[in-house]
Chains A and B, each alone.
Chain A
Amino acid sequence: MSTEVLEPAGPSKGIITLVHLYPREMSIYGDRGNTHALASRIRRHGYTAEVVLHDPGDDLRHDAHLFMGGGGQDSGQARVEADLEAVGPTLQAMAADGVPMLVICGMYQLFGNSFHTVTGQVLPGLGVLDVTTRGNDRRMIGPVCLETEYGRVVGYENHSGSTVLGEGQQPFGRVLSGHGNNGEDGLEGARTLNVIGTYLHGPLLPANPMVSDALIAVAAERATGRPFEPEPMSDPLADEARERQVRRLIGHR
């Protein structure tokens, strides 16, 4: 485990502890960019960001306010399985208590009920999100644009797992362009309480800062016991990068 404390430019409104799960094993598509984006934005909102890198075998920070987990190769997933089983109950309890978490690609699948491999094996997941994933011969790859409750979100997907939501499970968004969970039902990702699971890397957060703010707002409240006190800020680069992708992918709809 390693921990880095990043102070805001002015006086701190409180300390937000952000845990990146398995940064070595599960960070293949620029996932560190999400942690980087969260930490940087926490500071810009005037809070101290304590960034914890959780490796297999570490004690899980029970007092964390925000979790991030990314995508890995099969070999990476195999390396975190035992640890995830050990910390699983704590993560389940924290998720049920409303702790915000962003899990992407491989970690999204592991946060679901189960993963069925092409060869018929069934690997159990944490069951935080009511989703089931099946291995697939076809890989779903390409840029994605979604309509979400946070606005239009852009990213890039690259997964062979095909995910289906359980009855009543909310998606993260509706697909405007791309494949989404399974390429068929037009849904992407899943959201339960403050846990967001999605296939979108890109990484997701730098170009979609409204999603960062939604996660940070909850984390700040949990960290300080006070409502989130955001700093007004503009994101011209992120907005332009995102809107250009939206225009490329879906035109001016």
Chain B
Amino acid sequence: MLRTAAAVVAGKTARALARRRGGGSAFPGLVAERIQPRILRRSLSGVHGGIVVVSGTNGKTTTTKMLVAVLRAHGRSVFTNPTGSNFTRGVLSEMLPQLPLSGRLVSDMVVVELDEAHAMRFIDEVPPTHALLLNVARDQLDRFAEIDHTAALLARLGAASTEGVVANADDPFIARAADAVDVPVHWFGLDALIADRLPELTEHDARFDDEPLTREYGPGDARLRPVDERVFDIVFDDVTVGPVTLRQRGLAAMINATAATTTARMLLGEAFDAATAATALAAVQPPFGRGEVIMVDGQPLELVLVKNPAGFGVALSTYGTTPVATMIAINDNDADGRDVSWLYDVSFASLRERGVAVTSGVRAYDMALRLHYDDVHTGRVVPDLDTALDAFTAGHPDEPKRIFCTYTAMMALRRTLAARHGLAQFGEDGPQ
């Protein structure tokens, strides 16, 4: 016990210090873990309403946020890792300020987003009650090496879950993984009416199992049925959640909401209320960099995070329809993925008509070269992000703007925008 208390205190201290220095979100967790290696397991031992791990290639942050919002709307206290810091020590660091000296988190439920590799570390320490498996696509192959490997990690996460799994019926990798687990599985997916829109969500040509999956939807399974481009229903066999209008645009956000709602219902059981869920979903703000809008000199500027071919493809089809001035910022730091070859698996043809005003980031020239091969004109190539941002905003003062950016480019751009335009702090949504 004393050891746990010491770990909690040391972790809290490290967090306060790290905060003052600005940064280091994994460090406090590391400090606490050094003193009490089992601290994560111990801290979650008092949580009885469910420990949920959300994983998959795309949509983790958005889906986690939606799931937490729906659960909280039902009166549950939920601990989550809201910063997009999807690694185990980040979870611990985030938890430290809330931990009493006993080291036991006081919360009904825990919902954490973890990337596939960190989910493995988490399940080694704490068996989750539930796993939400979103999708598998090529992402950071320099880290995970192969999609098959990524899929195997998610299968392990599903297999480690003690009470239930929620799985994407339209993703063959996920469906195979979920079919193999022993616990109950609930499915989410596109309604048969819009099955033809599946390519908007997945990177089709990376797959071999092209046979459309037909799955009988049973009790507790949910289908996404759009009403129009903004409004949709989440349809269970006995109840419909909706019509819902999200603050985020696009089919990807809708399917994330469907995944979150399916999971919430599995967790809440009889207590689940469709109207409460619909209201909660409609109020969720886009996580930063996922279609977040910042007003710059009276015009909206959208930051859109792009990490992999499927995500960039979805982003272009979601946001590409409205004409705006476009900038693309590509870095190749560790957090971005060091290999930029994936840019050649994205079609940029939808940008051909208007061109791209500025490319920026460490790989600004590689991006401009990529666009050149798709006959998309690039106005300027400015590797320095701040200089590029200035050139971009100054060059397009009277129209809406959009920046597609990799993770570290987004963080840097957002820092600059925050300094100039007073944004919410990182990892926070501002006053709620």
Cβ B341 vs Cβ A30 within 8 A: yes
Judged by DSSP, the binding face of B is helix
Q: Which of B15-23, B68-76, B123-131, B139-147 is found at the contact surface with chain A? A: B139-147
Task: Indicate with 1 or 0, residue by residue over A41-58, a CB within 8 angstroms of chain B CB atoms.
Answer: 000000000000000000
A74 CA to B372 CA in the complex, in Å? 32
Write the chain B residue with the least CB distance to A32: B344
Cross-chain contact of B341 among A139, A201, A244 (Cβ < 8 A):
A201
Interface residues of A in 1-60 (CB under 8 A from B): 23-25, 27-33, 36-37, 40
Contact A73/B373 with A25-B208, A142-B338, A237-B365 known, Cβ cut-off 8 Å: no
A244-B373 contact in complex given A29-B141, A75-B148, C-beta closer than 8 Å:
no
Are A33 and B344 neighbours in the complex by a CB distance under 8 Å? yes
Q: Is A82 an interface position by the 8 A CB rule?
A: no
The answer to whether B148 touches A73, judged by C-beta atoms less than 8 angstroms apart, is yes
Q: Are B339 and A29 in contact (CB under 8 A)?
A: yes
Cβ of B366 < 8 Å from any Cβ of A? Answer: yes
Q: Is B297 interfacial (CB-CB < 8 Å)?
A: no
Given A73-B148, A206-B370, decide whether A240 and B365 contact each other with a Cβ distance below 8 A.
yes
Nearest chain A CB to B385 CB, angstrom units: 15
- With A141-B142, A240-B365 in contact, do A37 and B341 touch (Cβ < 8 Å)? no
CB distance from A243 to the nearest CB of B (A): 9
B167 within 8 A of A: no
In angstroms, Cα B205 to Cα A27, docked, is: 9
CB-contacts of B338-352 with A (<8 A): 338-345
- Flag if B208 contacts A79 (CB, 8 Å): yes
Chain B residues whose CB sits within 8 angstroms of the CB of A32 once the complex forms: 344-345
Assess whether A73 is in contact with B208, with CB atoms less than 8 Å apart.
no
Q: Which residues of B contact A24 (CB under 8 A)?
A: 205, 208
Q: Which residues of B sit under 8 angstroms from A28, Cβ to Cβ?
A: 138, 141, 146-147, 206
Contact of B369 among A30, A75, A158, A207 (CB under 8 A): A207
Which residues 124-155 of A have a CB within 8 angstroms of B? 139, 141-143
Q: Does A238 contact B (CB under 8 A)?
A: yes
Q: For the complex, would chain A's binding face be called helix, strand, loop or mixed by DSSP majority?
A: mixed
**Chain B, residue nearest A154 (CB):** B366
CB-based nearest A residue for B375: A40
Q: How far is the CA of A156 from the CA of B339 in the complex (A)?
A: 6
A241 at the interface (CB under 8 A from B): yes
B381 part of interface (Cβ distance < 8 Å): yes
Which of chain B's residues has its CB closest to A235's CB? B369
Of A27, A76, A241, which one neighbours B366 at CB under 8 angstroms?
A241
B30 within 8 Å of A by Cβ?
A: no
B141 touches A158 (CB 8 A): yes
Chain B contacts of A141 at CB under 8 A? Answer: 142, 338
Chain A residues with CB below 8 A from B315, complex form: none
- Are the CB atoms of B208 and A33 closer together than 8 Å? no
Most chain A CB within a 10 A radius of its CB, from B147, B206, B345, B365: B365
| Contact in complex: B366, A207 (CB < 8 Å) | yes
Known: A28-B138, A156-B339, A237-B368. A73 touches B146 (CB 8 A): yes
A206 near B344 (CB under 8 angstroms)?
A: yes
Tell me the bound Cα distance from A29 to B372 in angstroms. 19
A158 B145 Cβ-Cβ under 8 A? yes
B147 touches A30 (CB 8 A): no
A202 part of interface (Cβ distance < 8 Å): yes
Task: Provide the bound-state CA to CA distance between A201 and B339, in Å.
Answer: 9
CB neighbours (8 Å) of B343 from chain A are: 30
- Which of A31, A33, A158 lies in contact with B142, CB distance below 8 A? A158
> Which residues of chain A have C-beta atoms less than 8 A from B146's C-beta?
28, 73-74
CA distance A160 to B342 in the complex (A): 19
Across-interface contacts of A160 in B (CB, < 8 A):
145
Beyond known contacts A27-B345, A156-B341, A203-B344: 18 more, CB 8 A cutoff: A23-B205, A30-B341, A30-B342, A30-B345, A31-B344, A32-B345, A33-B344, A36-B344, A36-B373, A73-B148, A74-B146, A75-B208, A76-B208, A156-B142, A158-B142, A237-B372, A237-B381, A241-B365
| Between-chain CB contacts (< 8 Å), 22 pairs | A24-B205, A24-B208, A27-B345, A28-B206, A30-B341, A30-B343, A30-B344, A32-B345, A33-B373, A73-B146, A73-B147, A75-B148, A142-B142, A142-B338, A156-B341, A206-B344, A237-B368, A237-B369, A240-B381, A241-B369, A244-B365, A244-B383
- Nearest first, the 3 A-B pairs at minimum CB distance are A33-B344, A30-B344, A30-B341
